[in-house]
Amino acid sequence: MTRPRVVIAGAGFGGLFAAQALARVDADVTIVDRHNYHLFQPLLYQVATAGLPPSDVAWPVRSILRRQRNATVLLGEVKGIDTRQRVVELAHGSIPYDYLVVATGSTHSYFGHDDWRAFAPGLKSIDDATTIRRRILRAFEAAEVETDAARRERLLRFVIVGAGPTGVELAGTIAELARFTLAADFRRIDPASAKIVLVEAGPRVLAAFREAQSEYALRSLVRLGVEVRTNAAVTACDEEGVSIGAERLPSATVIWAAGVAASPVGRWLGKSTDRAGRVLVQPDLSADENVFVIGDAASLTLPDGRRVPGVAPAAKQQGRYVAKVIAARIAARPAPPPFEYRDPGNLATIGRKCAVIEFPFLTLRGFAAWWIWGIAHIYFLVGVPSPVLVSIRWLWEYLTYSRGARLITGQEHAD
């Protein structure tokens, strides 16, 4: 008798937690991802702003699961799913399954303007982060040798589109990079004169937080020298910069932190999705017979009307939950009760001194909140291969403003 085959597509938070929770189940678990690493996305902005090297926020999936005897790791891109034949189709070959967990996450949405992607990269992968890091650092380098004042101004204007947690974190950190880290490094330009513009189509920054927290975040950003433009929708984006209606903002570095779209799981499975492309799943997270969709790729409204948010804790909890459902089916035990989401709260940091947090039992902002934010992230790192090393490096960067990963790597034309 062969053991049941559980295939997990995606080794992000949801997929990895599902695989680990299946460690003691009598099944062969195959986890397939198009990258060979598991990425800790909450710290990715630190790579994009030269605070941490990529290897501090991403670890080989193979090494994370090396001791799990029933797990096999494959590098491959999922291209489709044949639910009749029960196979996952990869770019090269296919994998048969008895149970399938789809955890392929989300990508950026340019709201129908996919041509903007080339000019305004989003932040989702290590490649995105090193592209953004390269563009930011190159802009300062190009400004140092630029003699034309208008062109220099364009090089020293950084536009971040979208004022959710990622946009706010990026804007605050780029402002600090310009004002402190790079301040003494250049001779012809004053990096501190750089303009960091945070553009938001909605009426406030950090819209998912309470209004008082948003206002605090806004004040903190302004204190850091960030120009915040709310009620300002980007209407055009090209090589030269962005437009907000009739107004033009010339910029060599535009970063997209605005929209999210699920990976094409709905198309693969032929299932209904919400407007962001997330598959509408059942209360047990199933989308088809023995097929489960979890994390950012899934849409679930709880009995109390709350929608499960696209955040790491939700993906982890769903990963553990589907492992329980699968284990129960394999052992012919009764199914566990429907998925329930335990909301641990919201956190966002604004530069190196402020954060806002909204936990179920505590709402806080300021320096104390920043420390809680830091401790929470270190806690989340526990379980990854080198949490102590990352925490020490992070603390060092914090104390010294050094942002030691200021390396320009990869190909890009100089402005």
Listed ranges 8-16, 137-145, 148-156, 364-372: which one lies at the site for ligand FAD (CB under 6 A)? 8-16
Among 27-35, 92-100, 196-204, 387-395, the segment contacting ligand FAD (CB under 6 A) = 27-35
Residues 6+ apart with CB under 8 A from 348: 165, 168, 169, 206, 209, 217, 355, 356, 373
Q: Using the minimum distance from each CB to ligand FAD, give the nearer residue, 10 or 51.
A: 10
Question: Is there binding between residue 54 and ligand FAD (CB under 6 A)?
Answer: no
CB 392: neighbour CB atoms within 10 A?
11
Of the two residues 15 and 351, which places its CB atom closer to ligand FAD in the complex? 15
Neighbours of 160 (CB within 10 A): 30
Nearer to ligand FAD, 103 or 244 (CB): 103
Q: Is 169 a catalytic residue?
A: yes
| Whole-number Å distance between alpha carbons of 208 and 158 | 24
What are the beta bridge partners of residue 362?
A: 359
Pick one of 4, 74, 77, 359: the residue that binds ligand FAD (CB under 6 A).
77
| Region binding ligand FAD by CB under 6 A among candidate stretches 6-14, 197-205, 207-215, 334-342 | 6-14
Q: Where are the alpha helices (DSSP H) in 224-283?
A: 265-269
The continuous run of DSSP H or E covering 223 comes out as helix 211-223
Q: Shortest CA distance to 127 belongs to which of 142, 109, 108, 140?
A: 108
Count CB-CB contacts under 10 A for residue 194. Answer: 24
Positions 262 through 291 that interact with ligand FAD (CB under 6 A): 263
In the chain, the amino acid numbered 263 is S
88: enclosing H helix or E strand? strand 87-90
Quick check: 41 binds ligand FAD (CB under 6 A)? yes
Of residues 6, 7, 15, 139, which one binds ligand FAD by CB under 6 A? 15
Report the nearest approach of ligand FAD to the CB of residue 215 (Å).
21
- Select the residue interacting with ligand FAD from 27, 29, 86, 105 (CB under 6 A): 105
Instruction: Tell me how far apart the alpha carbons of residues 334 and 324 are, in angstroms, rounded to a whole number.
Output: 11
Binding mask 185-224 for ligand FAD (x = CB under 6 A): ----------------------------------------
7, containing H or E segment: strand 5-9
Q: Which of 295, 322, 374, 405 binds ligand FAD (CB under 6 A)?
A: 295
- 34 touches ligand FAD by CB under 6 A: yes
Tell me, by CB under 6 A, how many residues bind ligand FAD. Answer: 32
**Residue 351 binds to ligand FAD (criterion: CB under 6 A):** no
- Tokens representing 313 are 């804790």
Catalytic residue among 89, 144, 146, 169: 169
Q: Is 315 in the site for ligand FAD (CB under 6 A)?
A: yes
Which residue of the chain is nearest ligand FAD when measured via CB?
Answer: 12
Cα gap 32→291, rounded to integer Å: 15
From residue 138, alpha-carbon distances to 130, 151, 177, 302, 415 in Å are 12, 14, 13, 46, 8
- Could you identify the residue written with the tokens 């930011």? 136
Query: Out of 12, 191, 277, 351, which residue is the one contacting ligand FAD (CB under 6 A)?
Result: 12
Q: Which residue in the set 6, 7, 8, 11 belongs to the binding site for ligand FAD (CB under 6 A)?
A: 11
164 binds ligand FAD (CB under 6 A): no
Buried b (16+ CB within 10 A) or exposed e, 342-373: eeeebbbbbbbbbbbbbeeeebbbeeebbeeb
* Region near ligand FAD per CB under 6 A, out of 42-50, 211-219, 271-279, 320-328: 42-50
Pick the closest to residue 125 from 6, 238, 12, 258 (CA basis): 12
Q: Does 176 bind ligand FAD (CB under 6 A)?
A: no
Among 123, 194, 255, 356, binds ligand FAD (CB under 6 A): 123
Residue 138 in contact with ligand FAD, rule: CB under 6 A: no
Considering only 250, 313, 338, 387, the residue that binds ligand FAD (CB under 6 A) is 313
Residue 78 binds ligand FAD, judged by CB under 6 A:
yes
Beta strand segments in 252-332, E: 253-256, 259-262, 279-280, 286-288, 291-293, 298-299
Give catalytic residue positions. 169
Interface with ligand FAD (CB under 6 A): 9-15, 32-35, 41-42, 44-45, 77-78, 103-105, 123-124, 166, 263, 295-297, 310-313, 315
